[in-house]
């Protein structure tokens, strides 16, 4: 998967596609956004500048999902459910998931709850949230911890997206290309 291009992430934007550098409180850094399957394996990843919000790369991460089917056929590109943290609780993300027919289990932040309550009847209904399903969100955190076993990912010595990207691919493939991951819970 080619690195993400953000026109304003590095100066004039000419080298943003290969650098993926951004400034934050800790200095220059790179952020890795990923989606993981139920067995803690990354199935899609996007690299952005460090100061970027998580919700900015959400649609690109979702577009990169490819889950191989048990039998023949092209890979699935639409998961059954998305488990995400409060950073992904926005109208745009929820609308994107609704359009694609994907169930969302995303907690609503306190500020959105108070804003909705302040609007009264015009605030609408709270979004559905399944706390039992949300317990499985730790698979993403465990996938990130598996990636951190590699020194280049854990220490982030490689700041450029062209260097950091291949190091963050797990499990490493010999061809270097993104191959669909087979999910054993997938039903044809």
* Biggest distance spanned by C-alpha atoms of the chain: 56
Residue 10 in any domain: the answer is: no
Q: How far from 18 is each of 2, 39, 70, CA to CA, in Å?
A: 9, 30, 36
Please give the mean pLDDT across all residues of the chain. 76
Q: What is the pLDDT of residue 164?
A: 63
Write out pLDDT tens, residues 81-94: 999 988 888 889 99
Upper half-sphere CA count for residue 180 (Cβ side, 13 Å): 17
Give the residue, 124 or 165, on which the prediction is more confident. Answer: 124
Give the structural domain span for 117.
16-182
3-state secondary structure (DSSP) of residue 24: strand
Q: How far from 94 is each of 81, 138, 151, 182, CA to CA, in Å?
A: 12, 20, 35, 26
Residue recorded with tokens 């990843």: 45
Residue 125 in any domain: the answer is: yes
Q: What DSSP assignment string belongs to 68-123?
A: E-SSSSPPB-S-SEEE--GGG--HHHHHHHHHHT-EEE-PPPHHHHHHHHHHGGGG
State how many domains the chain has: 1
Give the residue, 30 or 163, on which the prediction is more confident. Answer: 30
Taking 60 as the threshold, does the pLDDT of residue 17 lie above it?
A: no
Take residue 186 and report the two structure tokens written for it: 């997938």
Split at pLDDT 50, 70, 90, the class of 20 is low
Residue 31 in any domain: the answer is: yes
CB 22, CB 50: distance < 8 Å: yes
Cα–Cα distance measured from residue 169 to residue 5, given in angstroms and rounded to the nearest whole number? 19
Specify which residues 33 forms β-bridges with: 46
Residue 1 in any domain: the answer is: no
Split at pLDDT 50, 70, 90, the class of 102 is very high
Give the residue, 142 or 188, on which the prediction is more confident. Answer: 142
Q: What is the pLDDT of residue 101?
A: 94
Write out pLDDT tens, residues 21-74: 676 676 777 788 889 888 888 888 888 877 777 888 899 999 999 888 888 889
Residue 108 in any domain: the answer is: yes
Element (H, E) at 143: helix 138-147
Residue 8 in any domain: the answer is: no
Residue 11 in any domain: the answer is: no
Give the residue, 136 or 179, on which the prediction is more confident. Answer: 136
Split at pLDDT 50, 70, 90, the class of 173 is very low
């Amino acid at each position: 998967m080619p690195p993400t291009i953000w026109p304003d992430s590095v100066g004039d934007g000419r080298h943003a596609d290969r650098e993926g550098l951004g400034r934050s409180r800790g200095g220059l850094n790179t952020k890795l956004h990923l989606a993981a399957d139920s067995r803690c394996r990354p199935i899609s990843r996007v690299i952005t500048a460090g100061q970027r919000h998580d919700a900015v790369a959400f649609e690109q991460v979702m577009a990169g999902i490819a889950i191989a089917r048990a039998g023949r056929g092209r890979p699935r590109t639409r998961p059954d459910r998305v488990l995400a943290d409060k950073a992904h609780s926005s109208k745009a993300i929820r609308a994107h998931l609704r359009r694609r027919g994907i169930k969302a289990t995303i907690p609503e932040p306190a500020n959105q709850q108070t804003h909705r309550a302040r609007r009264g009847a015009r605030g609408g209904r709270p979004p559905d949230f399944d706390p039992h399903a949300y317990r499985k969100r730790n698979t993403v955190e465990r996938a990130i911890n598996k990636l951190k076993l590699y020194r280049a990912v854990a220490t982030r010595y490689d700041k450029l997206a062209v260097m950091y990207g291949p190091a963050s691919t797990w499990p490493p493939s010999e061809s270097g290309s993104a191959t669909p991951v087979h999910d054993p819970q997938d039903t044809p």
